[in-house]
Amino acid sequence: MRKTAARKGVKFRHYGETGKKTKTSYKMSLDINGCQKPEESFAGCFHANTDPLLMEGKFYACTVAPNVRHFNKKVGTCMELQEGDYPDIYRLQSA
C-alpha cells in the first residue's frame, strides 16, 4: 500500500505505525443472498462485540454491518441494514 500511495502521489500512513510491527489484512466473506442465519453469523464473527461503532445515532456491535454501504457501492449489491440490526440511541427508553 505504501508503494502504491507513493507512486500515485498520495500521502499514506496508518494508525499505530512504528515500522516494527507487521500489519495484516483479512478476508471477510459476505452472503449477498441472505441465506445465513444472522444469529449464527454474528456469534461466529470475530468483530462481534469487540469493536463497537456509534454512527449517526445508531450503535452497532460490529463494524461490518454499517460499512457494507461501501461494498454495495463498489460491487453494485443492495444489502440493507434493518432496524433490528442496531439500537437507535435517540429512541432508547432504558438500558
- Indicate the number of domains in the chain: 1
The C-alpha cell at 71 is: 461494498
Over residues 81-86, the mean pLDDT reads 86
Has residue 63 been placed in a domain?
yes
Has residue 94 been placed in a domain?
no
Q: Per-residue pLDDT for 16 more than 70? A: no
Give the global pTM. Answer: 0.63
Has residue 90 been placed in a domain?
no
In tens, the pLDDT along 27-77 reads 878 888 889 888 888 888 777 888 889 999 999 988 888 999 999 999 999
What is the span of the domain harbouring residue 32?
A: 28-85
Has residue 73 been placed in a domain?
yes
Contact partners, residue 90, CB within 8 Å, separation at least 6: 57
In tens, the pLDDT along 84-93 reads 889 999 998 8
pLDDT at 6: 92
* DSSP string for residues in 45-83: -TTTTTS-EEETTEEESSSHHHHHHHHHHHHT------G
**Cα–chain center distance at 4:** 23
Has residue 23 been placed in a domain?
no
